[in-house]
Amino acid sequence: MKRTMVSFIAALTLGGALLVAPAVANADSGISDCPAGDYSNSDGNCVPDPQAGGGSPPAGATAQCRDGDWSFSQHHKGTCSGHGGVADWLN
Protein backbone atom coordinates (compact mmCIF):
# COMPACT_ATOMS: atom_id res chain seq x y z
CA MET A 1 0.00 0.00 0.00
CA LYS A 2 1.43 3.36 -0.97
CA ARG A 3 1.34 6.28 1.42
CA THR A 4 -0.71 9.26 0.25
CA MET A 5 0.90 12.60 0.89
CA VAL A 6 -0.90 15.90 1.00
CA SER A 7 1.13 18.50 -0.88
CA PHE A 8 0.70 22.21 -1.33
CA ILE A 9 1.77 24.43 -4.22
CA ALA A 10 2.92 27.89 -3.29
CA ALA A 11 2.36 30.68 -5.78
CA LEU A 12 3.79 34.19 -5.68
CA THR A 13 3.31 37.09 -8.01
CA LEU A 14 6.52 39.04 -8.52
CA GLY A 15 6.54 41.92 -10.99
CA GLY A 16 3.57 40.50 -12.86
CA ALA A 17 5.13 37.04 -13.24
CA LEU A 18 3.55 34.08 -11.49
CA LEU A 19 6.17 31.99 -9.72
CA VAL A 20 5.10 28.51 -8.67
CA ALA A 21 7.08 26.39 -6.24
CA PRO A 22 6.93 22.64 -6.91
CA ALA A 23 4.97 20.50 -4.48
CA VAL A 24 7.28 18.64 -2.13
CA ALA A 25 6.22 15.65 -0.07
CA ASN A 26 7.40 15.89 3.53
CA ALA A 27 8.23 12.48 4.96
CA ASP A 28 8.29 13.98 8.47
CA SER A 29 4.74 15.33 8.24
CA GLY A 30 3.31 12.53 10.36
CA ILE A 31 0.66 11.79 7.71
CA SER A 32 0.28 8.06 7.22
CA ASP A 33 -2.34 5.79 5.69
CA CYS A 34 -0.82 2.79 7.45
CA PRO A 35 -2.92 0.87 9.95
CA ALA A 36 -2.06 0.92 13.65
CA GLY A 37 1.04 -1.19 14.30
CA ASP A 38 2.60 -0.34 10.93
CA TYR A 39 4.85 2.48 9.74
CA SER A 40 5.48 3.96 6.30
CA ASN A 41 8.98 3.14 5.05
CA SER A 42 11.14 5.20 2.68
CA ASP A 43 9.27 3.74 -0.32
CA GLY A 44 5.92 4.70 1.17
CA ASN A 45 5.03 1.06 1.89
CA CYS A 46 3.33 0.10 5.14
CA VAL A 47 5.60 -2.22 7.12
CA PRO A 48 4.87 -3.84 10.49
CA ASP A 49 6.50 -2.19 13.51
CA PRO A 50 9.26 -4.27 15.13
CA GLN A 51 7.89 -7.03 17.36
CA ALA A 52 9.20 -8.16 20.71
CA GLY A 53 11.78 -10.90 20.34
CA GLY A 54 11.84 -14.38 21.68
CA GLY A 55 11.40 -17.78 20.11
CA SER A 56 11.16 -18.22 16.37
CA PRO A 57 10.98 -15.28 13.97
CA PRO A 58 7.43 -14.21 13.13
CA ALA A 59 6.25 -14.62 9.54
CA GLY A 60 7.69 -11.91 7.33
CA ALA A 61 10.52 -10.89 9.68
CA THR A 62 13.70 -9.90 7.84
CA ALA A 63 16.13 -9.31 10.71
CA GLN A 64 16.61 -9.68 14.43
CA CYS A 65 17.77 -6.54 16.20
CA ARG A 66 20.47 -6.54 18.88
CA ASP A 67 17.81 -5.88 21.53
CA GLY A 68 16.07 -9.10 20.42
CA ASP A 69 13.15 -7.48 18.56
CA TRP A 70 12.20 -8.72 15.09
CA SER A 71 12.28 -6.27 12.17
CA PHE A 72 10.20 -6.41 8.99
CA SER A 73 12.29 -3.82 7.16
CA GLN A 74 12.42 -3.95 3.36
CA HIS A 75 15.86 -2.27 3.15
CA HIS A 76 19.11 -2.67 5.07
CA LYS A 77 19.58 1.07 5.62
CA GLY A 78 18.01 2.11 8.91
CA THR A 79 16.96 -1.39 9.94
CA CYS A 80 16.86 -1.77 13.73
CA SER A 81 17.76 1.88 14.29
CA GLY A 82 16.71 2.58 17.83
CA HIS A 83 17.10 -1.13 18.63
CA GLY A 84 20.91 -1.31 18.76
CA GLY A 85 21.41 -2.27 15.11
CA VAL A 86 21.03 -5.62 13.36
CA ALA A 87 22.21 -8.78 15.13
CA ASP A 88 21.23 -11.18 12.33
CA TRP A 89 19.73 -10.88 8.82
CA LEU A 90 17.15 -13.56 8.10
CA ASN A 91 17.14 -13.33 4.31
Question: Looking at residue 51, what is its pLDDT?
Answer: 95
For residue 67, count CB atoms less than 10 angstroms from its CB and return exposed for 0-12, middle for 13-18, buried for 19 or more. middle
Which pTM was predicted? 0.63
Question: Looking at residue 31, what is its pLDDT?
Answer: 58
pLDDT higher than 70, residue 74: yes
Nearest to 34 by CA among 26, 25, 43: 43
Mean pLDDT over residues 71-90, rounded?
Answer: 95
Span 2-17, pLDDT tens digits:
444 433 333 334 455 4
Residue with the larger pLDDT of the pair 61 and 55: 61
Residues in the chain, how many?
91
